[in-house]
Amino acid sequence: MLAGQSWWSICLVFQIQATTLSEKVFWVDISWIGVVVIPVAWLAFSLDYTGRDQYLRPAYFAVVVVIPAITVGLTLTSDYHTLLYRDSWLVIQNGVLRLGQAVGPWFWVITVYTYLLGLLGSIPIFGLLTSEMRPFRGQSVALLLGTLAPWASNVFYLLGVFDTSGLDPTPVAFSISGVAYLAAVTRFQLFGASPSPTHRARRLVFTQMHDGAVVVDRQDTIVDMNEPAAAILGGEQTQVLGMPSASVIPSYDMLPMDGEAPEPLSIETPNGTNRYDVSVTRIDDVHGRFLGRVISFHDVSEILRERQRLKVLNRVLRHNLRTEANLIAGYADLLADTEETPESRLIKKHTQRIIDVGDKGRTIVELFDTNWATKQPRQVRELLETCISDVSKMHPNARLAIGDIPPESAVSPVLKPVLVNLIENGVEHNTNPKPWVHVSARADDETVAFHVIDDGDGIGEYERAVLARGDETPLEHGSGLGLWLVQWGVDIADGQLEFEDRSSGGTVVTVRVPRFFVADAE
């Protein structure tokens, strides 16, 4: 585009300096090469800059350049026709030799076509004036200013608004374009920040998202659909477009209203019947008028299968494992009544560990199976007192203490199993005859930090590494489920978990979670 502007400007200079009619006509004729390049290049730049490069195909480009190419051909053969200029003559104005010309019909064809291309190129850039990114707004203003200035100058010249002594001032207005384009490049990072991915990305997200999505208009007619939706509903995209939604989407009348929570829907697919969470999102225009809806399908079949597995696991841990472990413990007691031996004591010890693992497993299943978001927060003091009481009943020899507790503070109830397991861990993994565990809490405006301190053997680095990595391997694994229960409970509470070794022995475990106020608690 800039090359076309430069060509036109240079031809104007040579046309002014020419002293004969033929020379002046020659420079005017070849200046048309730059004239017709400018709008075509502007349109191409605009489409590429705004991410609409799908229109920059050779076939489309060939159609766009037909009229400009004809114009260039007419300028090169101007001696044989009067389509572009009907006549040319020399005239002296203010002592200066000027060229006068009477335009032909094709002049107005190419003029209108040039303005049309300029308008088509400006429309996509006008859409960026409301962009939330400041560089895009600045770029758009600079580009439009640099393009509209010469266009406006040309319009004024053709309408005879200003006396230009017969000279087209459009090339002179290109100086404004240069300043505006320089601002776009240097001040607004034209070559550093580009909005071109934005237009394509929105379409890409729709077409390549894993969830199925269907767009319907206000008449409930399907107007768009991505490939996952076509696979779910069992139809070709090209075939279902334009069809009524009810004929393609099962139970269409039963779908949730705009903004309501997703509803599970069973759909028969080539691979069997799957369950989907179906959500409906309303589409409005800039004036808030209803245009249509986006209906999305999220496959929850695997989630439901995982939930079923958890229920089976819960049942096994709750009944089968505990029953078998109790039988083993009972036989160990009978053996001990006859003759207590180290072997019988070892059997009872490991049997109790099996029972503890089963209990923690059941707690973990309940942890994931409970919708904690619907539970009322619990006051910090009442929560800690309950946790200390529960652990004291199981370990009467432990020395358990509660330190500072922030007033008017509450936390998610999911913290109860978390804190109970931390306190138990400090007691059980402790070789002292009377294990000591101290629990306190501090609060700021947004969070509550619980500190669980013990004087035991501490938590090994390999245990912490397993938690930090998030999974276990045959060679690196934790010693049980307790710390996993703590980690997952803290995650559910949207909190953070930290470990620190005490210089005098033992561990300080810090659990930091969002704070609620007593008014929000039960």
Greatest mean pLDDT among 79-83, 140-144, 193-197: 79-83
Task: Give 125's pLDDT tier (boundaries 50, 70, 90).
Answer: confident
Helix/strand/coil (H, E, C) string of 494-508?
Answer: CCEEEEEECCCCCEE
Q: What is the per-residue pLDDT for 476?
A: 42
Long-range contacts of 190-196 (CB under 8 A, 24+ apart): 190/139, 190/142, 190/143, 192/135, 193/133, 193/135, 193/136, 193/139, 194/49, 195/49, 195/50, 195/51, 195/128, 195/131, 195/133, 195/136, 195/139, 196/48, 196/49, 196/50, 196/51, 196/53
Cα 390 to Cα 125: distance, rounded to the nearest angstrom: 67
Task: Give 116's pLDDT tier (boundaries 50, 70, 90).
Answer: very high
Q: Residues 507-517: what's their mean pLDDT?
A: 90
**Structure-block tokens of residue 89:** 């003559």
Q: What is the per-residue pLDDT for 235?
A: 74
Output phi, psi for 153, to 5 deg: -60, -40
Output phi, psi for 112, to 5 deg: -60, -40
Q: What is the per-residue pLDDT for 250?
A: 82
Task: Give 474's pLDDT tier (boundaries 50, 70, 90).
Answer: very low
3-state secondary structure of 264: strand
Torsion of CA 133, 137, 138, 143, to 10 degrees: 140
- Of the candidates 246, 221, 223, which has an alpha carbon nearest to the alpha carbon of residue 233? 246
Is the model's pLDDT at 266 over the cut of 80? no
Out of 121-125, 236-240, 388-392, 435-439, least confident range: 236-240
Contact 507, 500 (CB under 8 A): yes
Q: What is the per-residue pLDDT for 168?
A: 76
For the stretch 18-74, pLDDT in tens is 999 999 999 999 999 999 999 999 999 988 888 887 888 899 999 999 999 999 999
Contact 256, 263 (CB under 8 A): yes
CA atoms within a 13 Å half-sphere pointing along the CA-CB vector of 144: 16
DSSP codes of every residue in 150-203: HHHHHHHHHHT-S--TT---HHHHHHHHHHHHHHHHHTS-TTT--SHHHHHHHH
Query: In what helix (H) or strand (E) does residue 516 lie, and over which residues does it extend?
Result: none
Which has the higher per-residue pLDDT, 137 or 452?
452
Task: Give 156's pLDDT tier (boundaries 50, 70, 90).
Answer: confident
Residues 6 or more apart whose CB falls under 8 angstroms from that of 113 comprise 39, 67, 68
Cα 58 to Cα 348: distance, rounded to the nearest angstrom: 82
Please report, for residues 153, 302, 471, 515, the alpha-carbon distance to residue 306 in angstroms, rounded to integers and kept in the order given: 70, 6, 18, 32
Cα 114 to Cα 37: distance, rounded to the nearest angstrom: 10
Cα 390 to Cα 291: distance, rounded to the nearest angstrom: 58
Amino acid letter, residue 180: A
Residue 222's Cβ-count burial label (10 Å; 0-12, 13-18, 19+) is buried
Q: What is the per-residue pLDDT for 11?
A: 93
Cα 40 to Cα 62: distance, rounded to the nearest angstrom: 11
DSSP codes of every residue in 403-460: ----TT-EE-TTHHHHHHHHHHHHHHT--SSS-EEEEEEEE-SSEEEEEEEE-SS---
Is the model's pLDDT at 334 over the cut of 60? yes
DSSP codes of every residue in 13-40: HHHHH--SHHHHHHHHHHHHHHHHHHHH
pLDDT more than 90, % of the chain: 26
Q: Roughly what angle, to the nearest 10 degrees, separates helices 342-369 and 322-338?
A: 160
Q: What is the per-residue pLDDT for 66?
A: 96
Residues 6 or more apart whose CB falls under 8 angstroms from that of 88 comprise 21, 24, 25, 99, 100, 101, 102
Task: Give 95's pLDDT tier (boundaries 50, 70, 90).
Answer: confident
Q: What is the per-residue pLDDT for 110?
A: 95
Q: What is the per-residue pLDDT for 264?
A: 72
- The bridge status of strand 272-284 relative to strand 222-225 is unpaired
Cα 507 to Cα 489: distance, rounded to the nearest angstrom: 19
Which has the higher per-residue pLDDT, 310 or 516?
516
Q: What is the per-residue pLDDT for 251?
A: 81
For the stretch 478-502, pLDDT in tens is 456 778 888 888 988 999 999 888 8
Which residue(s) pair with 278 in the sheet?
263, 297
Q: Mean pLDDT, the chain, as a whole number?
A: 82
Greatest mean pLDDT among 177-191, 194-208, 265-279: 177-191
Torsion of CA 220, 224, 228, 231, to 10 degrees: 70
**Alpha helix (H) residue ranges in 234-292:** 237-240
First to last CA, the chain: 70
Cα 363 to Cα 369: distance, rounded to the nearest angstrom: 10
User: What's the whole-model pTM score?
Assistant: 0.52
Task: Give 510's pLDDT tier (boundaries 50, 70, 90).
Answer: very high
Q: Residues 145-163: what's their mean pLDDT?
A: 81
Task: Give 208's pLDDT tier (boundaries 50, 70, 90).
Answer: confident
pLDDT more than 70, % of the chain: 81
Which has the higher per-residue pLDDT, 476 or 317?
317
Q: What is the per-residue pLDDT for 28?
A: 92
Is the model's pLDDT at 475 over the cut of 50? no
Cα 325 to Cα 458: distance, rounded to the nearest angstrom: 29
CA angle 319, 325, 326 (to 5 degrees): 85
Q: What is the per-residue pLDDT for 462?
A: 60
For the stretch 386-407, pLDDT in tens is 999 999 998 888 899 888 888 8
Task: Give 340's pLDDT tier (boundaries 50, 70, 90).
Answer: low
Which has the higher per-residue pLDDT, 129 or 198?
129
Residues 6 or more apart whose CB falls under 8 angstroms from that of 441 comprise 380, 384, 403, 404, 405, 406, 409, 448, 449, 450, 451
Q: What is the per-residue pLDDT for 317?
A: 60
**Structure-block tokens of residue 339:** 């003759």
Cα 149 to Cα 177: distance, rounded to the nearest angstrom: 7
